[in-house]
Structure formats: C-alpha cells, structure tokens
Structure 1
C-alpha cells in the first residue's frame, strides 16, 4: 500500500488560514515556528483551520464575527486584535468585514458579554482603524454622540410647519445615496409599517418615512381632510427637508397621496410607486367611506377593526401570522379617532382618474392578486392612465402587500429603482 505524502488536513487548514488571515501573516507565523511550537502550529492548522473553518455550514464572514465576539467576551485581546486586522484587510475580500459590520459585532457583544468587554473592544478596534484606515478607505472622524440614531429606525424629528408631521430619516449606509425615497403609509397604520423595506432600501438610498396627519405621532387636526391637503402636507415635508425631487413609494392612502403629489407638485417627484391603491371609487363605495366616518365618530375605531383586518390581510396570512395581524390591529385602534375619520374622508373622495395623464414621472403600480379593498382592476386603471406606467401583480398578496409579501414587494421596487437615473 502506498502512503500519500500530502497531509491533506494540514494543506486544507493552511489554505483556510491564508484565506482568512492573509499570506503575509501566515508566512510570518510559519517562519517563526521552532522545535518548541511547531507541533502546536501543526495542531491548530489541522483542527482550528480545517476542522472548523473548513466546514461549509456557515459563511466565513459569519465565522469571523463569531471569533471576534468570543475573543472579546473572553478578554483574549491579542487574538482579538489579530482577527480585527484580518477581518478588515486580510484574506479573501469576500470574507472581510467592513468597519460598519465590525461595529455591529462590537455593539451586539456589549449586550451578551458586557459593556466593559465592548468598551475595551472598541478601544482596540479604533487603534487599529487609525493605523490601517487609509489602506481600507476609512477615516475616524468626530461625531456628535447626541445626534447618533439607530440605523434600523432612523433619526426621528417633526416638521416645524403645521400640522406637524413626525418623520424618520435613514441615511444611505453604502456611501453617497442613489436616490432619496419617501415612504407613505396606509390608512390606520404609521411609518413603522415600512421598517423592513426602509432598512433594505437604506443600503443605497436616503429613506424618509413619515406619519400622515391624524396618524402616529403627527398632529391630528379636528376636521375632515382632503387628498389635496395630504398631498400638500407631503410637499411641505419634502421642501422643509430640502430633499426633492424624491422617489415616492406609497401604499393605499399613501399611493393616493403620491398621485396627487405628482400632479400638484411634479417638480418634487422623480419616481412614483403606487401600491394597493386606487385613483377613485364608485359612488356606492364612496358612500361606504362616509358610513365608516359616522361609525368611527359614534362608536370608535374598535367597531370596525376586525373588518379592516379582513380587508388588509387574506385568511391564510391572518391564520399563520396572527401576531403580526394583532400588531397592525393594535396600531389601528390606537390611531386618533378624529384623525382617522379625517383621512377616511380624503381616501373616500379621492379622484385622480381623469388627471392621471398629468403624471409625467416614471411610475410603478403594484397590485395584490387577492386585494379586495383595491382590486387589481383599480391598479390596471392607474397603469393605463399614467403614461408609461408599469404594472406588477403580486400573488398571495391582499391589501397590505408589503407586509404579506415583503420580498416580492422589495424586488419589484428595487427593479424599478434600478431603472431610474441617479
């Protein structure tokens, strides 16, 4: 029987070790081997770098993050520094962490291993970033701690103009923003409806989400609103933030606002997404909206809550995602009743069908195949009326398609955004 002279476990381990730490570090380590530590080097190369790092069950970036968290938790700072350097600039580029990803590892470790460990970890990491930052295109710059914002929520504020509109701003994480996007929510919801999509889009775009008047933390004037007023609210938000023209993404009521905004203030809209919406209702449905106003004013929002959830979500979603539905229901019934009734009037009297040809911006219309509140035929009307508009129908989606089919919704939006000029 012949003996293969190649120790494959060792060679695989060396390959992984080089991929993670880089040739320079591994070559230096191997050159420092001696009769005292050579067997130990052999051991860790075969077991740590082959048996563990060679397993395909986790991506190597994930394993990097795990090593950083564990060495930080255990206070193994020499090993921690080694892997910080390697994570930022060593080995294969597709296995590296960005400084922002490294920051997330440190922050999460603070919760699970203690703030003192994270505090020391930040100190070591910043020293390394000061040293190698120019090589990786990263500069530590002064920043105001009180202005820091949760990147998954954004910086919160409200308009100075009245009625005050509560909004959040997520800045693009990957450098200069491709677009500024405004997300406009459905009746009885608030800006948190958009959290998942907003965080996806904020990779390459500045993303603004806001609460319509009468909703969330925005003012709720005691009157019946018009769609023109809601569109003018949107216009002053964009102008106050100095961020126009924007890509407007609106669902249901938010889509109605987007249509009116594009007609009344075309200079503010660079792209329009109208989802699960309509440009007008027949007379019997208009009457139903007026009846809803009377019910809410007489008996409160709770009286209509179950019926609204049935229109917002199809039966299978309500059964399988009952907790998500309960959260939307809670938001609905805690909405200011006067503000909700005011917006019901704006929604029920929407009328842009005859003016749709005035929308000159690139437009995507998204419909839910199961949507009873805004059937596909309503989306077809808008897509035909708006010059050059594209229609996408999402299967297994009812009225709140962004909640029921988040991935399909995000893919449709991302494809549309990719077609817009910067």
Structure 2
C-alpha cells in the first residue's frame, strides 16, 4: 500500500487561490507564514479555496461578486481591498470591469447600507487610481447632477413644438455607436414599452426612445392628427439630436410612422424594422377606427380598454401574465383622451400602400402569428411591396409581439442589425 505525500485538497485550493488572487499576493502570503498562522493558511486553502471556490455551481466571476458584497457588508476592508485588486487585475475570464465593480458597490448601498458603500467606493477608487493605467481606465471629473441612470438613459424634452419627451441611451461599451436606433411605440403605450430591448441594444448602440404626441409626457395638441404629422415630429426630434441616419424600429403605430418617415425624410432612415403594422386598412376597419374615436369621445378610454387588451395580447398570455396586461391597461386608460383620439385618426387613415416601392431602406417586417389587429397578410403585403424587405413571423405572438415574445423579437432585431 502506497501513501501519497501530497494533500490534494490543499494543492487544489492553492491552485484556485493563485488563479483568483494572483501569484504575487499568494507568494507574499506563503512567505509570511509562521508557526503561529501556517495551520490557518492551510485551513483556508483547503476549505475556502478548494471546498468553496472549487465548486462548479457558480462561475468564479460570480463568486468574486459575492465576496466583494460580503466584505462590504461586514466592513472587512483589508479583505475587500485584496479582492478589489484581484478582480480588476485578474484573468479575462474572472475579471470585473470598473463599471461592473461600480454596480456591485451601488447595490451594496441598498442591501448593506449607504455608509458601508461610501467606504467601499473610497477604497475602490483609490485602488483604481493606482491600477488604472494597467487596465486602461482613467478616472475623470463628473458632477453628480450630470449623471444618468444607465438603464433609462438621459430623459429630456425636445425644443420644438409639439414638445416630445424622449430618452437617450449612450453605448455602454464607451465606444462610438454601432448604430443609432430609434424605438417607436404602439398606440396607447409609451416609451417604457421598449425598456428591455433598449437596454439590450444599448450595449453597443445609441438608443433613442420617445413618446409620440398625445402620449406619455409629450404634448397633446388639440385636433386630429395625420401620420405625416407624426413622421414630421420624429424628423424634428432626430434633427435636434443630430442623429444622422437611424435604424427605425416601430411597432404598430410606430411602424406606420417609420414608413412615412422613410418616405418623407429618407436621409434620416438607414434601416427599417416594421413590426405588427400595416400600410393601410380596408373600409370596414377604417369605420371601426371611427367608431373607436366616437366611443372614447363619449365614454372615455376606459370603455374600450378591455377590448384593446384582447387585441394586444392573446388569451393564454393574458391568463399567465395578468400583471403585464394590467400594466399596459393602466397606461392605456391614463393616456390623454384627446391625444389618443388624435392618434387613432392617424392610424385609421394610414395610407402608404401605393408608395411602398419608394422606400429605399433595408427593411425587416415582423409579424405575430396570432395578431388579429394587423394580421399576417398585412405584413406579407409590406414585405412584398418594399424592395429590400424580408419577413419574419414570431410564433405565439399577437399584436404587441415585443412584449409577448421579447427574446424572439430581440433576436430578430439583432440579426437584422448585423445586416446593416
């Protein structure tokens, strides 16, 4: 019977310890071991670095985050500094960027307390000053009042009338934007319907979302609107933002505005994604839009809310995601009634069918398999009439397909962006 002189738990622990903390730190720690603390060093190598860090259930980067949060909560600043340095200077697989580090500290303010996070920021910032050159990160002055929530972007109001409320998300990677993307919402919604997709695209794109006139925080001028006016609103905003040509992603009314924008202001549109939309309604449907206007005038938006939700979402979605449906219903009934009526008129009277062949932008048409508001045949007509268009049909999606099938919708958009 042979006896292996190597303690495999210790050796595996030391291997993990070196991978996470770096050879320099571990070498200093081992060199400083004495008859008093060597057994403790052995213990943490076996139990912390092998028994815990050696488990495959979480990746090493996640374990880094847990350690940082825990040491902040406990106020163990020497250990915190050790792991900050290791996280910033570690190998590419387990390294945290300064922005990721900042997010750990921001969240710790809520769960561990503002004083603890304040101290953590002070320690981490000092380390960033020391190692910034090594990792290509430069601390620059920035006034707190000039910061924006990275998940929402900079919210502001356009300078011209009617005033449009918008949000602008800069690319999170800090580089020049791959595209400027505009997300244009459906009737009775607002810019928040795009929050999930906007955050995803803002990884490397400049993303603009806005409230159409008569919706959200934008002005609601009196009277009936036309699709040309809604498109001109968008053009004014894009010129104010000096956006250059944009990739326009519009759903329902937003897709109608996108068609008109591409026709009236072609230099502003580099690409077009038209989801759950149409270029025109038959006479019976136009009459239905006029009836909707009459109902809202007489009885308010509440009178049509349930019927609208029935068209926006299919039955199974309404049953399984009732909270989402309630959120969109609440947004609908709190929309300015005059603004809603004005946009209903623009939607009901949309008419770009005869001009679709003039759209020069590369176009993606997205249809919902279950969409009753703008059925598949309407999407097929768009895809056939626009010269550079292709059609994607999303399964188990009704009218608000971006909400019912967010992953499939986002995948279709991202694949489209790669073609531009």
**Normalising by structure 2, what TM-score?**
0.98
- Separation in structure 2 between the aligned mates of residue 27 and residue 302 of structure 1, nearest angstrom: 70
1:255 aligns to 2:259 (yes or no): no
- Separation in structure 2 between the aligned mates of residue 26 and residue 277 of structure 1, nearest angstrom: 61
1:163 aligns to 2:144 (yes or no): no
SS in 2 for 1:250: strand
- Separation in structure 2 between the aligned mates of residue 323 and residue 302 of structure 1, nearest angstrom: 18
- Separation in structure 1 between the aligned mates of residue 357 and residue 24 of structure 2, nearest angstrom: 63
1:27 alignment counterpart: 27
2:295 alignment counterpart: 295
2:85 alignment counterpart: 85
- Separation in structure 1 between the aligned mates of residue 245 and residue 254 of structure 2, nearest angstrom: 17
- Separation in structure 2 between the aligned mates of residue 77 and residue 9 of structure 1, nearest angstrom: 28
1:105 alignment counterpart: 104
Instruction: After superposing the two structures, state which structure 1 stretch, 25-34 or 166-175, moved more.
Output: 25-34
Residue 386 of structure 1 and its aligned partner are, at CA, apart by 1.0
| Aligned alpha-carbon RMSD (Å) | 1.0
- Separation in structure 1 between the aligned mates of residue 378 and residue 14 of structure 2, nearest angstrom: 62
Contiguous gaps of at least 5 residues in structure 2: none
1:391 alignment counterpart: 391
Per-residue deviation, residues 115-143 of structure 1 (Å, max 9, x unmatched): 11111110011101111111111110011
Residue 153 of structure 1 and its aligned partner are, at CA, apart by 1.1
Residue 24 of structure 1 and its aligned partner are, at CA, apart by 2.3
Per-residue deviation, residues 91-128 of structure 1 (Å, max 9, x unmatched): x3111111001001001000111111111110011101
1:217 alignment counterpart: 217
Residue 147 of structure 1 and its aligned partner are, at CA, apart by 1.5
Per-residue deviation, residues 331-358 of structure 1 (Å, max 9, x unmatched): 0000000000000011111111111111
Residue 418 of structure 1 and its aligned partner are, at CA, apart by 1.6
Instruction: After superposing the two structures, state which structure 1 stretch, 36-45 or 236-245, moved more.
Output: 36-45
1:181 alignment counterpart: 181
Per-residue deviation, residues 163-214 of structure 1 (Å, max 9, x unmatched): 0000011111012211111110000000000001101111111111000000
1:208 aligns to 2:208 (yes or no): yes
Residue 328 of structure 1 and its aligned partner are, at CA, apart by 0.3
Residue 10 of structure 1 and its aligned partner are, at CA, apart by 1.5
Residue 378 of structure 1 and its aligned partner are, at CA, apart by 0.8
Which 4+ stretches in 1 moved above 3 angstroms? Answer: none
1:242-321 equivalences under 5 Å are 242-321=242-321
SS in 1 for 2:111: helix
- Separation in structure 2 between the aligned mates of residue 78 and residue 394 of structure 1, nearest angstrom: 53
Residue 36 of structure 1 and its aligned partner are, at CA, apart by 2.2
1:30-49 equivalences under 5 Å are 30-49=30-49
- Separation in structure 2 between the aligned mates of residue 15 and residue 272 of structure 1, nearest angstrom: 52
Residue 6 of structure 1 and its aligned partner are, at CA, apart by 2.9
- Separation in structure 2 between the aligned mates of residue 133 and residue 297 of structure 1, nearest angstrom: 61
2:338 alignment counterpart: 338
- Report the count of equivalent residues: 419
SS in 2 for 1:95: coil
- Separation in structure 1 between the aligned mates of residue 15 and residue 344 of structure 2, nearest angstrom: 64
- Separation in structure 1 between the aligned mates of residue 385 and residue 23 of structure 2, nearest angstrom: 61
Residue 29 of structure 1 and its aligned partner are, at CA, apart by 2.0
1:322 aligns to 2:322 (yes or no): yes
- Separation in structure 2 between the aligned mates of residue 409 and residue 175 of structure 1, nearest angstrom: 25
- Separation in structure 2 between the aligned mates of residue 353 and residue 8 of structure 1, nearest angstrom: 73
- Separation in structure 1 between the aligned mates of residue 274 and residue 24 of structure 2, nearest angstrom: 54
Per-residue deviation, residues 192-239 of structure 1 (Å, max 9, x unmatched): 000011011111111110000000000001111000000000000100
- Separation in structure 2 between the aligned mates of residue 11 and residue 383 of structure 1, nearest angstrom: 63
1:122 aligns to 2:121 (yes or no): yes
**Normalising by structure 1, what TM-score?**
0.98
- Separation in structure 1 between the aligned mates of residue 391 and residue 25 of structure 2, nearest angstrom: 54
Per-residue deviation, residues 261-290 of structure 1 (Å, max 9, x unmatched): 011101011111111111111111011111
Residue 34 of structure 1 and its aligned partner are, at CA, apart by 2.6
Contiguous gaps of at least 5 residues in structure 1: none
1:350 aligns to 2:350 (yes or no): yes
- Separation in structure 2 between the aligned mates of residue 22 and residue 328 of structure 1, nearest angstrom: 51
